[in-house]
Structure 1
């Protein structure tokens, strides 16, 4: 999943001039505070994005990374259910709408989206970014928590939201998404605690009758020993000038680590296996760490004697299904 396509031209253009008129130090201060909230604990009754400066900094700094992570999760869902396409989509806690842009790209803009968020400045900027060539979406203010009721929809996305909620509100939100949608995609940071929130959401979705379509090749318990490791993936993100200003570094990109689950109420063919670590290339062979359909973890060694499979292994990436079709 490291290789990525460019951002949609319309989104790139909308983000390019977003910080015009905002002093660089103000943008950097807003990003620093947002990073602290992202890594810390945020009470469920306090939206992270408070004003226009916060929202502009968030959109310029985080929106490309969120878009890439959701795009990768949706690509895995599409691989599992290539004949399915959502007609309606609800983006819960969607802020400025990164996931909505990803959904529009994944299915050619066919889905009618509704973005729900409790921060009006984020919704306002989302509308502004989408005006013209952006996704066709409605933007509605809603408190994201136990009292939230969703209308029936084909697809619900919940990206980088669960960390902002109390455990009770997390459970209520996932339960409501499972009730309302035919497909649910949840994305969290690729950290140990983000993985734990994805695990909990996955268990809830399966208990509610949904089938895991990705990334897991099975619907059983995760084979990773708790506390020993965690399941996550990586998406490559082009660094903006704000990224370079805040984080420094000379590389034109960074890798966004994320964890996700996609679960559905319709037929889907999960991958027979999933590459869960970056492939290791040796002389004449490639080592692949896999999660398999029988619910176990294993390492496969693919060598030149495997012929075309060896070439496929050399081209394979972290997060890809295995073996290839």
Structure 2
């Protein structure tokens, strides 16, 4: 385990150690109830995570996937702003701190404040941070706060898998508050049509507030996807521990977390010229890339062996990557 930058393996080990002894039946019942809550259509005005059993089940069920999704978003931010390092980070609605683990793994030393309205979630997050091996996580501040309360200025704000829990008015107020407080905003939602809609709504508000899109979009213009026909989302591979498989009722050693996101900043960045928006299709002697571009909207590129090094790069390209490679 790296003593400074936490990894996915460190998170799985911390979860396994902390949740050792949780009765499987109790965990599965809590997971089933949480799934029903998160898939409901009515935003909640009270914490979904009500007690330690709920929080423990949630941590095993969601933290590894949230960590990987946020880590992918931060990787795109670092590509667009390679020389930028946040000194402060606010994890809004951070719960048990999955996004904070990702931030601590991306940069060495940001001072993190986790805000959430569930004290049981914050308590378990503190415990996980203590065994993380990361000085940044161990020194994080965990504060109980209603989502949407006034925010202190911060370099980086993460809002991961939070907007669905809020009413439309509260979502708008939160995004505007974050835009006013942070130099960089990272918003992540499930990779579903309604998750994408919430991200696009947030993206529009961030741009209106004077921020510029760093990722995934190559531009600040209107998204070229026709609403209702498709949606922009990406995928992160999540390795499952035995505990994770037990709680989620699965047998595979991995799963793919689908997510939609936007990263916006108040300082100059260099967004990708184009972004791979679907899993590349590898054919004999050619690779088909679905791209969102800076100047041409959506387009398909066919890269063949005749393109030489670009063809080799296309064969290695992944869904969500910048294109062409640097």
TM-score of the alignment, normalized to the shorter chain, above 0.5: yes
Residue aligned with 1:17, SS: helix
Per the alignment, residue 104 of structure 1 pairs with 104
Residues 79-136 of structure 1: CA distance to partner in whole angstroms, max 9, x if unpaired?
000000100000000000000010011012x200000000000000000000152413
C-alpha root-mean-square deviation of aligned residues, in Å?
Answer: 1.5
2:274 pairs with 1:286? no
Per the alignment, residue 209 of structure 1 pairs with 210
TM-score by length of 1: 0.95
Residues 295-321 of structure 1: CA distance to partner in whole angstroms, max 9, x if unpaired?
500000000000000000000000000
For the residues of structure 2 that align with 1:9 and 1:71, how far apart are their CA atoms? 13
Per the alignment, residue 152 of structure 2 pairs with 151
Could you list the runs of 5+ residues in structure 1 that have no partner in the other structure? 1-5
Q: Label 1:41 to 1:223 Cα distance change in 2 as closer, same or farther (>3 A).
A: same
Aligned counterparts, 1:153-168, within 5 A: 153-168=154-169
TM-score by length of 2: 0.95
Per the alignment, residue 198 of structure 2 pairs with 197
CA contact (8 A) 2:8 2:67 kept: no
Aligned counterparts, 1:42-61, within 5 A: 42-61=42-61
Per the alignment, residue 92 of structure 1 pairs with 92
2:142 pairs with 1:139? yes
Residues 230-259 of structure 1: CA distance to partner in whole angstroms, max 9, x if unpaired?
000000001133442344443200000000
Aligned counterparts, 1:236-247, within 5 A: 236-247=237-248
Per the alignment, residue 316 of structure 2 pairs with 315
Aligned counterparts, 1:221-236, within 5 A: 221-236=222-237
Residue aligned with 2:155, SS: strand
Per the alignment, residue 124 of structure 1 pairs with 123
> Number of matched residues?
318
For the residues of structure 2 that align with 1:78 and 1:247, how far apart are their CA atoms? 32
Per the alignment, residue 250 of structure 1 pairs with 251
Per the alignment, residue 3 of structure 1 pairs with none
Per the alignment, residue 301 of structure 1 pairs with 302
Pairwise CA distance, 1:8: 4.1
For the residues of structure 1 that align with 2:62 and 2:163, how far apart are their CA atoms? 16
Please identify, of 128-137 and 299-308, the stretch whose mean Cα deviation from structure 2 is larger: 128-137
Residues 50-79 of structure 1: CA distance to partner in whole angstroms, max 9, x if unpaired?
100010011111000000000000000000
CA contact (8 A) 2:15 2:60 kept: yes
CA contact (8 A) 1:222 1:295 kept: no
